[in-house]
Homo-oligomer: A and B are copies of this chain.
Amino acid sequence: MSLASTVSETCKAARVASRQLAPKSTIEKDRALAALSGLLRTSASALLEANREDLVAAEARGVGPALLDRLALDETRIEAMARSVEEIAALPDPVGVVVEDRRRPSGLRVRRVRVPLGVVAMIYEARPNVTVEASALSIKAGDAIVLRGGSEAHRSNLALGRLVTSALRASGLPPGAVQMLESVDRDAVRLLVQQTETVDLAIPRGGEALIRFVTEHARVPVVQHFRGVCHLYLDRGADLEMAVRLAVNAKLSRPAVCNALECLLVDAGDAGRLLPKVAGALIAGGCELRGCPVTCAIAPEARPAGESDWGAEFLDRVLAVRVVDGLDGALAHVARYGSGHTEAICTPDPAVAERWRREVDAACVAVNASTRFHDGGELGLGAEIGIATSRVHWRGPMGLESLTTMKWLLDGDGQTRD
């Protein structure tokens, strides 16, 4: 079968299964998730064997230690996957939730209810746990999903996919609701995101190159997460101890993630008080600072920033620092260089905080809190399938609700329209 036929048939099978899965009850879906967490625990040795083959092949190709670590499974990581499936099962079912319920003057009852989205295509890299979490989230939301993981994790993903299929079959749900697109040919991704008849939404998750590739070729809607260029603005009068704590946590608690801080902005009128302590704490934490001229004058440990440092996603212990002309200067910098991910302010002034909330255009806007909270689990959504920085369909952490759409229900007793 040609690659084009394989992709098209895979997506058609997902569409058929999605129709069977959509009307299933919460109990039936949760039973499949319980079966999956059980299977993960009892199949650890088979999973580790498949994963070992992936690791050997990756090492042979000279893959670096960071990627090898992301790829590797062990008993602890398998147990974590099993637990995350149980947590997803414990979440409330979004399907059937009534968003709106009103009665019209004619007596017609009008409801808007959440229903499964249909078929989701998920394109991702390395980490095998995404295979399990994306499957569990889509099953719970009543969606079918087509998974296209990274070639490095090919064998691990297939082994995990077989467990998902077994769990669906054992629970009386359509096994076709989770499809693994097995081809390692990159052209499969292009074809996958062009299946307008059968795929409702594509979610690319990985490096910027992958997301640009998907966006360029997609004919189906794409929920995007390009980059996390997060800022923290220290406003005049900011509590010094809080400013230090927020900057250090946002930058250094996990520098390689998308909600980590990449640029610190400081009010010019208060930089003399704020910057020395904040810069000192960051440097003590092993962070390199790249500052504007004023920053470098106040904190001589900073090296001069170049134009390319503004808006840069370092994903490392590097931070751009700029002294700005108050709130308006900070807003202008964020509008120009931000990526619409997470923008934080540290301020004692409620009026300034309110302008920040209103005027910053980003998926998540934080006042006196670390940028690191922008995460499905931290915000109380449970597991997330990604964070959307695009504006349409969904924005921010993508939990179960982001995998649903809606349907209007009209109930009458014979009403006709004049």
Q: A residues within 8 Å of B by Cβ? A: 19, 22-23, 102, 104, 108, 110, 112, 115, 117-118, 196, 200-201, 215-216, 219, 221-222, 239, 242, 245-246, 248-250, 253, 335, 344, 353, 357-359, 361-370, 372-375, 378-380, 390-393, 395-397, 405-418
* A405/B417 in contact, CB under 8 A: no
List B contacts of A373 (CB < 8 A): 108, 410, 412, 415, 417
* A391/B358 in contact, CB under 8 A: no
List B contacts of A416 (CB < 8 A): 245-246, 248-250, 253, 369-370, 372
- Contact of A365 with B239 at beta-carbon distance under 8 Å, contacts A246-B416, A370-B416, A391-B200 already known: no
* B368/A414 in contact, CB under 8 A: yes
In whole angstroms, how far apart are the Cα atoms of A22 and B357 in the complex?
A: 12
12 A–B pairs (Cβ distance < 8 Å), ordered by A: A23-B358, A104-B379, A108-B369, A110-B380, A117-B391, A365-B410, A366-B411, A367-B410, A368-B412, A379-B408, A392-B392, A396-B408
| Further contacts, 18 of them, CB under 8 A, given A110-B380, A196-B215, A363-B408 | A104-B378, A200-B392, A201-B392, A221-B390, A221-B393, A245-B416, A249-B416, A250-B416, A357-B409, A365-B408, A366-B411, A366-B412, A368-B414, A370-B415, A374-B408, A378-B417, A379-B410, A391-B405
List B contacts of A405 (CB < 8 A): 391-392, 395
Which listed residue, B19, B196, B375, B408, touches A335 by the CB 8 Å rule?
B19
Nearest B residue (CB) for A220:
B392
List B contacts of A365 (CB < 8 A): 407-410
- Contact of A407 with B392 at beta-carbon distance under 8 Å, contacts A412-B367, A412-B368, A413-B368 already known: no
